Structure 1
Amino acid sequence: MAEASVVKACDLEVAAAISAAGEAVTATSSTTTSIGPEHHAWCCGKLRDCDQSLVVSGLGCKQTTMSLLVWLLERESVADRAWGPVRALAHNPQVAAVGLTALYMVFCLLWLVWRPFALVLGEGGAWLACAYGLRRASACVARFATFPGSFRNVRLDVEREYGRRLSQRLEVAARALECWWIDLHPRARMEIDRETFARHVEEARVARSQLLEPLRDAMAMLAPPASLFSSSSSSSSSSGAADEKKNKKGAAEATAVDADVVVSLEEGDAGSPDWRELSAEAIDAFAAVKAAIDNVIVASSGVESVTALLLSCPAAHFARTRCEALDANVARAAYDLATACRELARCSALVLPQHRAAAAAAQAAAAASSSSPEASPRGSPLADAAAAIVGVARAPCPKPLDSAFGLALLRAELARSYGATQFWVTSGRTRVDCCVIPPHFSRAATPGAQPVPTVLLCAPNAVLYESFGMAPRDGAGWVATYARLGLQVVVWNLRGYGRTPGLPSPAENGADGVAVVRYLRQKRGVPKLLVHGESIGGMVATHVAHHFTRRRPQTAIDALVADRTFSNLHVEAQYLTGVRAAATALPLATCWRAEDANSLGKFVQSSCPKLIASDACDHMIPDQASLKAGVAIFSELGDAAPRRRDLSGDLAVSDALGVAPTPAFRADLLPSSDAWRLTDAAIAHFAACARHVAARARAYRRDDDPPAGPKSDPDVSSDVRLPFFPGTPRTPRRRQRRRAAQQHRRPPDSDDSDDDRASAIAPARSLSIDSIDSSWCLETLAWQILENVDGGCGQALGRALAADLGAVRAWVCSYVTWPNGAPNKLVDGVPDSLDNNNTDDDGDRSWESADASDDDPENPPFVDRPPPLSVHDASVALDKLLAHDDQRKNLPTPQPLVESLTFVVHFLRAIAARAHAREEKNNRLDVGSLLVLTCGHNAPYSPRERDAYLGWLQVNFLDRAATPPTS
């Protein structure tokens, strides 16, 4: 009777749990709130309670059924494992229905386009035309992803950004000069001290010398005669529309005649705007801004004498001297400066082309609303839809900006501010637009490149060399840094970028780079040459270095810097798109040869001093696709064409089920002699075993109230599938607890199970295995050690395991190739912390809490953020942990877990010995030096990283003798 009552009660609870599970699933799929997951967790708890009740009553059959229900509720569904957009559609059926309807409409439109081709060319010809169009579209997409700077949209974005910054510069200058004239006006301000006046004068002079005067000189390079603008503006204000068009045509013709005359040989072919394509408003805006700048500079010169008098007097007599000096002439000069400042502030909006477009649209809307008051300010839905379609259709070929403040002015300002000179280099049938920046920004007597040590800078994929003019000369950019070091810098635009004609491709860009190097070495006599390539520019830099190493002409490269670049385009396409087939589709769509896009082989075969700079947490180039990973994998595994890798076969099945590999310990993959080398099978088995430890640790952490006594049956717990979510190995709940602990820190003996476990092992530098009592589980302690192992590549082992097998291969091979403390490793990178948002003032990722102190016993360091561990220290700690686990009899550990952890310990010990052996042989000529970065993609180096790089540059380039000519 008692057994029947237990079964009935359990059946009722099971029915309630299943009903609630259905409600939870419905709530999860129909809303974005957290109600569904909370119900889901409650159902799992109820089913576990029923499971325990059935175990006590001895009903094995129903207990097995209950375990299956718990397994079904805890496991991830197919939708949860799908790609991000697909997962979002699966959880939002309404959005999915709308998306499918829109997709059906797209197919209908495609059928309308395809049908005429089928009628004219036949069905086969229509399919061929569609295949050709699809290939061309794919090639366009691939080119946009690889070389976005070759599209007009990017150029327009650069011009808009330059206009925005130029407007801010004019506003800042107007405010600084306004404070100057206010201090000099007799009635504007009566109480002022000498220190404040001196500060205002210094700010005004800096704004005039660094903001206005370079811009005035740059505009003078491009502007036609001033009489042209005055006649155009006067006639446009007095004549009608016909006279305005006539004057505009005359201005364009005069500009076409005089444009080449105003450009001197010092700046080269700086170019000028196409005045014939600009409207009269754009030409008048250019003239108005130039006139306003000239007036401000002239007006500020009129108050220099009285300013010098006031600055020379003592501070005690400043007020009296000021009252005596501010006479009518000074007031008139101050008034002139005030008028010029107001005009400059009004002209700051004229450099923005969208400002004029917005003003015209506002006037049109005002006219429409005044003519028909009942009309809606918005257009009809059909008109809005038509405007949207037209905008999308014109996106590939946007209309040029109606503004004279574009690339031509930016190029002229680069020439004036940096002392740069433009020149052309012929490469085949194409002329490459180049620019040279002299050492210390001092232009030589003869224009062009000089026979001095030079840096050829290959810019990233969306950067035009004109953009370097927007950076200050004292900034952290590469052009300014090299010029301040006394090096000559040469920058150039790839094909399709700026004024360089053609379409970019790996082969054509490499050929252009070779042509530039030949020009510098053979025609300009450059004695020493460093090639620095960043991002996509690294592919060009490695091609140039490999070309001169292989053919050995009379020119050579003295040093090579591959800065945050990839090993080859195919693996980068795989990780960038998330599609494995992208590596195969890329050459089919673009016809780019694999050897042209292979930076790995060219870098390894280059014989000059070379450096790899890489950030393991680069958001654009993942660590698996970086050149650093490619070189390390090639050096250790011999894989010359790395691709995206995942676990396969039995290892993938065991990882999906959350169980240990079978067998977990494989002695055949571990070293048996000194000639042992790394293999893909050993790395894959190591990754599977380590991920199993992580999965078991996550399962233990997910229990909010872990049992204090012996654990449950190991066979049952090991059969339950424990998902290993991508991303950080710790759950968001634990991250929130760590952040809360940083604000309200508790002592280590606080009553919190998870935080207590973390606090007990967190001071990993002084980890004492003997202090661990029998209530701790092996997997939690082991994973706390494993996830913080530092491979010296700027990434912790836990984050590499959370990605894929390719990340683990890169982590292992990078550690063996460039171990910590290696002479050719410039900076031992701190591994990425478990929270990317925690950075220090210099941009380096910090592992310590902000308020943690070594001297505070109640706030021990590394409690919330454990420190990185070396591979050797981690293997020793795990070995002690296994030995301590063998002595525990009351808390047994599943044998598969012990075998997995044993293999992990032996593997870590093996790669540590392998790295030590390679370091003793010092066989590193083929891999070059490594600089581990933490600054991100295309961001300036931190001071520590910049100092390390400058040290390498001093030894390997500046202090080295020039490369002798070879026959």
Structure 2
Amino acid sequence: MMEVTTGNPNDDGPNYSSGPSEGVMKMIAHKLLQTKTVADVLPGFFQVILTSGKMTGMAFVGAYLAFLGIWFPIYLFSRLVGEMGIYALTAGTIFMVGRSIIRLLAFPGSTNRVSSEIEKEFSKYSVRMINASSISIMDLAQAIASAGNTQSGSQSYAAYEIPAMWKRAKSYRDRVLAVYLEVLQYIYSSDEPSSPTMSNTTKYGNNKLSGDIGDLSGLTLEARADGKRLLEHLSRVISDMDRLEEQAGSMLEQSSGKTQMPSSSVRMIANSLVVVANDLKDFAESLGPSASGEGDASSPNEGDEANLSVDAVRRRFEEQNTSVMDSITSGAASILSMLDPPPHTSIFGFDVQRGCMLARYKGAKQMWVKRPSGGMIDVVHVPATTHCQPSQKNPQAVMYCNPNAGLIEVATGMSLAGGNVMQEEEGVVNDNCWTDFYTGAGYDVYLFNYAGFGRSFGSGYFGVGRLGGEEAYVEGTYGRIKRIIHGTFFGFQPTPATLRTDGLALGTHLISECGVESLVIHGESIGGVAASGTARHLSQTPFTKDKLSLLICDRTFCNLEAVAQRLVGGWSAFAVRGLAPFWSTDVAGDFLAADCRKVVANDSADAIIADPSSLKAGIAWWRELCRGKETTKGVGWIMDAPVQYRMADWENVAVNHSRYVRSAFTRATAPVWPSDKHISLEEAFHFAACTKRLGKIASIEKKRQSMINLVEHGTTECVVPIFLIWKGLACCDGLCGAALGMTVKGGFDCTVSWLCSLLTFGGQTVVEGMEHRQQLSFGESNATKLGKVLTSDFDCRPPGFEKQESDSVVHPKPIPEVLDDIKKIIEDNAGDETLGLVEEELSFIVGTLEYIVARLSSPSVVEQSCKNRHLGLGEGMIGAFMNLHCGHNNPFSAGERSRLRDILLQASGQK
């Protein structure tokens, strides 16, 4: 028998000396025992199941019973409807879910999530403003109470400091506390609103509320009770401030010209004011969202939630003693809250927010407009600054169509600042808000929510009206099931067609019932669907045609499918068409068919609506490449380049030299003006292929030459001819969008879109350059005065641009300058081998750029562009073009607002 050595009995490690085979087995077993398994990294609940046979058995039994609970009702249902019924039900479920997702993405403003976020932010803002008001009032009251007090240990304020403190506290009283007081009094009052008087402002200078602001039906009972208690606190604070102003007005305003000391009665009022203001502050803090369980952006744990790892999430569960079942319950509750939104738990909901907005504008009021197919549209009318009195009627109005996440409650911002109720010396000019911009320009503004957004509603399926806003909120399972079934199967759901219907209903109402003689329709983002559809119908109706003065489509798209393709993927357009076959989002078709003055405002760097899917690009595609087609359906969609160009790119050969695919485009010469009035689709894609080929070869040569220069000269500067040509060509100005180099990176169809937009709208930019060169005002410009086009008219760079440029900042170069540089480089490097590789491409690019310059400089194009730029009417008019640089959701810059003012004056006949 072999002797076995046991080793040191005090050694806790493994002993492998009992034989080779046994030692190896022990070593393997030890390693396996040290290796972590799936069970080791699972949450504690699953570890208990896997490490206990009894718990494992119970888990299997529970899972089996759950499976039976799900399967058995489906089995019974399948026996009733049959196999084909199950297939139909499954397909219908997939269709409905997909359609709901599309609607959620297209109309987020109609969802509870957006509304809840807005109300939450307004609650936070309101609490902050009331707290700031209370603190300012307490500071004033303490200053008055201690003014002139020289007792040791007490803080004394100089009397001359009190007027400045009073001015600040009074502003808080009038513009914050009084607004909330008047809004709550209006909402809680059961009396009918009084008829308008000559004075449309309240005692504190705010607008007298008018219309249906709301009845707090969307709030919990606790929130409504909080509102009444807040009303009491506000009343006490404002009452004491009014008493203080009445008894110590001369001291507070220093109207006597000398410093005054408060009397004993004034000090008593000040002491009382300290108490009630502090009570208001304490109560307001209890109304914050965090107090109602909605979370607070200032909570210490919120900042890192977005970056939590799996381990961090598990630790968070353990720290909060949250079980897996609790997590599942929480997830289910979040889904239910989307299907069945609970009442808002703060008094600062949409009703109060709506009232605060109305309080900021003199003469503003709420009104309802009936939808022709059933339902009502919630509308807010804000008069122009010069027509604020009820007796004054303004014939000029703007109908503003919200973007997809926009609501009238936030159309003027969430702040209490702005509006026109303040005195000029203390008012805030807020041109960044469309309401303030248009009212300052002399236009009444009508803001409205589409049906399905906010309080606006329509008739649902089978004529069922809205549920919830007109009925009391029913707690419990029955009420929840009723609301979910109604909202899912019977309730009203917004569509592009309903947006057009709502816009047309309001536009017709303004002209026929409100006396509007000159209507401007401004649609932003998806609001372009409502705006263009409304303008198309109004401009083709005899009664309303002459009263539609201007259509503005602001940063909108040619159709929704084109946007989806570039945000999600090429397949998404077909998904939208399949899941929403009756949706029509053809903004380009409606815009072109509208027989009125019109404006296309576009930012080529828009992060939401890609430039090739914009309205500008859609119009350009149709005008340049789809001539003769009656429909604009499908314009702006992603288009694959012809296969010969893709194969040539893959083979890395000249664009017409693929060995596998014969070129379908045999014409190797560029278009020539004036024999070619338009470019063809084949020419556009050939240009795109040539620019991509040139950029690809230039990049390769740059890398090669930079490596050589780095080794030989210690610098990475590249001066090879082809790179210099591409460097200039990449900066070529598109006159109405990005430089050429950026579009080449986007793909063939992006370059085609760039070329079409340049040929369609670039002439207006050239005309603008001619006006600036001759120092003509917007109203003085016309085709006969402009004369001949100079090469400098293509230059959009600002004066002194050379000082602003660097290696990383380069302004787009005008096309004539790019052409001259390319020709000079080719002439100076006639024998360059690399240029010989792209000789055909360079020839076509140079020829196309020469065609562009000749076409945009021709008298006929200049005349047409001038008419479009100055809102001409007639056949072939595509509207004025505004080249924006403000992004998708940002306000216009000062220069862009100035340009829009000129357009408004032109449309109204004043310029």
Please report the TM-score for the alignment, with normalisation by the length of structure 2: 0.72
Indicate whether 1:290 and 2:281 are aligned. Answer: no
Question: Alpha carbons of 1:210 and 1:557: their partners in 2 closer, same or farther (altered >3 Å)?
Answer: same
TM-superposition CA deviations, 1:735-762 (whole Å, max 9, x none): xxxxxxxxxxxxxxxx7633x44xxxxx
Deviation at 1:425, TM superposition (A): 1.8
Paired residue for 2:638? 644
Deviation at 1:699, TM superposition (A): 2.5
Distance 1:461 1:415 in 2: 22
- Look up the equivalent residue of 1:190 and give its one-letter code: S
- Look up the equivalent residue of 1:685 and give its one-letter code: H
Deviation at 1:427, TM superposition (A): 2.1
**Is 1:286–1:404's contact at 8 Å kept on the other side of the alignment?**
yes
Indicate whether 1:936 and 2:896 are aligned. Answer: no
Deviation at 1:111, TM superposition (A): 9.2
- Look up the equivalent residue of 1:574 and give its one-letter code: Q
TM-superposition CA deviations, 1:146-203 (whole Å, max 9, x none): 1122222222222222212212221222233233224323156436584x54443332
Indicate whether 1:544 and 2:534 are aligned. Answer: yes
Paired residue for 1:591? 581
- Look up the equivalent residue of 1:420 and give its one-letter code: A
Deviation at 1:396, TM superposition (A): 2.9
- Look up the equivalent residue of 2:376 and give its one-letter code: R
Give the counterpart of 2:192 among 258, 261, 265.
261
Paired residue for 1:952? 903
Distance 1:558 1:848 in 2: 33
Deviation at 1:358, TM superposition (A): 6.6
TM-superposition CA deviations, 1:127-153 (whole Å, max 9, x none): 100111111112111111111222222
Paired residue for 2:399? 456
Question: Alpha carbons of 1:819 and 1:391: their partners in 2 closer, same or farther (altered >3 Å)?
Answer: closer
Secondary structure of 2:601's match? strand
Question: Alpha carbons of 1:710 and 1:159: their partners in 2 closer, same or farther (altered >3 Å)?
Answer: closer
Paired residue for 1:190? 156
Q: How does 1:309-708 map to 2 (within 5 A)?
A: 309=251, 311-312=253-254, 318=259, 321=260, 325-357=261-293, 377-418=320-361, 419-428=363-372, 429-440=374-385, 443-445=388-390, 450-468=393-411, 470-471=414-415, 472-473=418-419, 474-475=429-430, 476-502=432-458, 503-555=493-545, 556-578=547-569, 580-594=570-584, 597-638=585-626, 640-641=632-633, 642=635, 643-663=637-657, 668-672=668-672, 674-676=674-676, 677-703=678-704, 705-708=706-709
Distance 1:535 1:331 in 2: 57
Paired residue for 1:882? 826
Question: Alpha carbons of 1:585 and 1:619: their partners in 2 closer, same or farther (altered >3 Å)?
Answer: same
Distance 2:252 2:446 in 1: 46
Secondary structure of 1:434's match? strand
Distance 1:848 1:262 in 2: 55
Distance 1:490 1:854 in 2: 45
Q: How does 1:11-30 map to 2 (within 5 A)?
A: none
Question: Alpha carbons of 1:867 and 1:445: their partners in 2 closer, same or farther (altered >3 Å)?
Answer: closer
Deviation at 1:279, TM superposition (A): 4.4
TM-superposition CA deviations, 1:465-512 (whole Å, max 9, x none): 122353532322111211122211111111111222132222222122
Deviation at 1:683, TM superposition (A): 1.8
Paired residue for 1:134? 94
- Aligned-residue Cα RMSD (Å) equals 3.6
Distance 2:534 2:810 in 1: 44
Secondary structure of 2:118's match? helix
Distance 2:770 2:346 in 1: 47
Deviation at 1:657, TM superposition (A): 4.5
Question: Alpha carbons of 1:380 and 1:436: their partners in 2 closer, same or farther (altered >3 Å)?
Answer: same
**Is 1:221–1:263's contact at 8 Å kept on the other side of the alignment?**
no
For structure 1, the residue ranges without an aligned partner over 5 or more in a row are 1-93, 95-104, 225-257, 361-374, 712-750, 758-775, 830-845, 961-967
Indicate whether 1:911 and 2:852 are aligned. Answer: yes
Give the counterpart of 1:272 among 198, 201, 214.
214
- Look up the equivalent residue of 2:368 and give its one-letter code: W
Deviation at 1:804, TM superposition (A): 2.2
Deviation at 1:409, TM superposition (A): 1.7
Distance 1:816 1:510 in 2: 31
**Is 1:824–1:928's contact at 8 Å kept on the other side of the alignment?**
no
Question: Alpha carbons of 1:313 and 1:585: their partners in 2 closer, same or farther (altered >3 Å)?
Answer: closer
Paired residue for 1:816? 759
Paired residue for 2:10? none
Indicate whether 1:900 and 2:841 are aligned. Answer: yes
Deviation at 1:310, TM superposition (A): 5.7
Secondary structure of 1:440's match? coil
Deviation at 1:710, TM superposition (A): 14
Paired residue for 2:788? none
Q: How does 1:238-257 map to 2 (within 5 A)?
A: none
Distance 2:704 2:233 in 1: 71
- Look up the equivalent residue of 2:755 and give its one-letter code: V
Deviation at 1:267, TM superposition (A): 4.9
Paired residue for 2:11? none
- Look up the equivalent residue of 1:693 and give its one-letter code: L
Question: Alpha carbons of 1:487 and 1:931: their partners in 2 closer, same or farther (altered >3 Å)?
Answer: same
Distance 1:217 1:521 in 2: 32
Deviation at 1:288, TM superposition (A): 2.3
Indicate whether 1:160 and 2:126 are aligned. Answer: no
Paired residue for 1:100? none
**Is 1:660–1:688's contact at 8 Å kept on the other side of the alignment?**
no
**Is 1:453–1:487's contact at 8 Å kept on the other side of the alignment?**
yes
Paired residue for 1:773? none
- Look up the equivalent residue of 1:126 and give its one-letter code: I
**Is 1:567–1:627's contact at 8 Å kept on the other side of the alignment?**
yes
Distance 1:485 1:270 in 2: 27
TM-superposition CA deviations, 1:219-264 (whole Å, max 9, x none): 111014xxxxxxxxxxxxxxxxxxxxxxxxxxxxxxxxx3x63586
Distance 2:96 2:771 in 1: 45
Greater displacement, 266-275 / 211-220: 266-275
Greater displacement, 581-590 / 699-708: 699-708
Question: Alpha carbons of 1:264 and 1:660: their partners in 2 closer, same or farther (altered >3 Å)?
Answer: farther
Deviation at 1:441, TM superposition (A): 7.9
Please report the TM-score for the alignment, with normalisation by the length of structure 1: 0.68
For structure 2, the residue ranges without an aligned partner over 5 or more in a row are 1-41, 43-62, 197-207, 297-317, 420-428, 459-492, 659-664, 773-795, 869-875
**Is 1:353–1:401's contact at 8 Å kept on the other side of the alignment?**
no
Q: How does 1:731-880 map to 2 (within 5 A)?
A: 753-754=715-716, 756-757=717-718, 776-819=719-762, 822=765, 861-880=805-824
**Is 2:705–2:720's contact at 8 Å kept on the other side of the alignment?**
no
Deviation at 1:563, TM superposition (A): 0.7
**Is 1:818–1:824's contact at 8 Å kept on the other side of the alignment?**
no
What is the aligned-residue identity percentage?
Answer: 23
- Look up the equivalent residue of 1:200 and give its one-letter code: M
